[in-house]
Structure 1
C-alpha cells in the first residue's frame, strides 16, 4: 500500500484524530520507520504543514498515537479476560492472552506504546497506576496478593512475565520466526507460571 491511500478529506472538524488514525495505519503497515509527519499528512489527505497545528513535531504525534493505542490495548485485555472465564485465575490468564494478542496483531503500536516516555503519555501528576491498562492488570492481580504483601510485588511479577514473553515472541526469539498465532509459541507452558502467583509456600 502506498502513501496515496488517504483518509477522506472531510474530517468533520476532527483533523487531529484523522491524523492519529493515519499514523496508526502507517505504523501497522511498516512499523516505526514508516511514521513521518509528511506521510501522515498525505495519508490523511491534508497539507504537509497540517500536523504542526495539532502536534509538537513527530514526538508529539507518537505520544498521541501511544495514548490511543493504550486505550485499544486495554480493550483487548478486557475482552480476552471476559472470554477466558469468571474465576480470578481465568481472568488473570485472559488478560495475559489479550496482552499477547494485541502485541501479535499490532506490533508497530506495541513498539510505539513502550517507546514513548510514560510521563509524556500520562497527565501531569499521575503515576502508572492511573493508566487504564495498568488498572486492569492491578484488578486481576488483586485476588492473589498475600496478606502483608505490597500489591506491586505481584503486579510486577505478572507484568514482567507477560511483557517479556510478548516481546520475545513477536520478535521471533523463541524459535518461532514470524509468528502469526499464539499457538506458534509456548504460551500455555509459560503461562503455567501464573499458577504460582501469590503462592507463599516454601518448598
Structure 2
C-alpha cells in the first residue's frame, strides 16, 4: 500500500477504527501474544508511530478492542438467548451456551475483554451494568433470584460457573474439544444450573 493510499484510506478520521479492526484480526489469528502496536500498525497499513496518536500504549489499544469486543460478545449472548426455548431456565442455559461459543470463536477477544483493561476499564465506577452483556446476564438470572436476596450473588455464581468452564475448556482441561458442544462435557456441567432457583418455575 502506498503512502498516498494510506492517507486516502484514513482521510476521514477512521484510523482509530482501522487500528482496532487490525488488532482484532491479530487476536483472531494468533491470540493475545500476537497483539502488539507495531503489528497492529502494519496490519492497518500505517506507520508504526500511528497508534501513539490514538491510544495510550498497548493498554489503550486493548481498552478500545475491549469496547468493540463487548459489543460482539453481547450480540453472541443475545442471539443464543433468542434462538432457544423462551422459558426462564432454557434462556439461562442458552446464555451460557452462547458464552462458551463466543470463547471458542473469539478466544483472543475474550482474553482482552476480561483482562486487566477489559471489563474493569468499561466500568471504572464499579457499575457492571454499563456492559450490555452483564445486563443480559442480569435479565436471565432475575427469575431465579430468591425474594429479598441481592441479585448480584446469583449473577456472580452463574457467571463464575460459565466463565470458569469456558477458560478450562479453551485450555484443554476438559480433553480434546468434541465436534459439537452437545457431545462434550458442557451439558453435564451446565446441569448445575438446575440447582439454581429450583423454587422458580421452568
TM-score between the two structures when normalised by the length of structure 1? 0.88
Q: Is the 8 A contact 2:144 2:197 kept in 1?
A: yes
Residues 191 and 119 (structure 1), Cα distance of their counterparts in 2 relative to 1, 3 Å cut:
closer
Partner of 1:63: 63
Q: How does 1:92-171 map to 2 (within 5 A)?
A: 92-117=92-117, 118-122=119-123, 124-125=124-125, 127-171=127-171
Please list the CA deviations of residues 63-113 of structure 1 after superposition, one character each: whole Å capped at 9, or x if unmatched.
Answer: 111111111101000001101121111111111111000001111111111
Q: Is the 8 A contact 1:63 1:116 kept in 2?
A: no
Query: What are structure 1's unaligned runs of at least 5 residues?
Result: none
Partner of 2:189: 190
1:174 CA displacement: 1.0
Q: How does 1:28-43 map to 2 (within 5 A)?
A: 28-43=28-43
Q: Is the 8 A contact 1:41 1:51 kept in 2?
A: yes
In structure 1, how many angstroms separate the alpha carbons of the residues matched to 2:59 and 2:183? 34
Partner of 2:45: 45
In structure 2, how many angstroms separate the alpha carbons of the residues matched to 1:51 and 1:61? 8
Q: Is the 8 A contact 2:26 2:34 kept in 1?
A: yes
In structure 2, how many angstroms separate the alpha carbons of the residues matched to 1:199 and 1:171? 31
In structure 2, how many angstroms separate the alpha carbons of the residues matched to 1:26 and 1:180? 25
In structure 1, how many angstroms separate the alpha carbons of the residues matched to 2:178 and 2:47? 38
Q: Is the 8 A contact 1:169 1:185 kept in 2?
A: no
In structure 2, how many angstroms separate the alpha carbons of the residues matched to 1:135 and 1:171? 27
Q: Is the 8 A contact 2:37 2:51 kept in 1?
A: yes
Query: Cα RMSD between the aligned structures?
Result: 2.0
Task: Give the count of matched residue pairs.
Answer: 193
Q: Is the 8 A contact 2:122 2:130 kept in 1?
A: no
In structure 2, how many angstroms separate the alpha carbons of the residues matched to 1:28 and 1:179? 21
Query: What are structure 2's unaligned runs of at least 5 residues?
Result: none
In structure 2, how many angstroms separate the alpha carbons of the residues matched to 1:89 and 1:54? 44
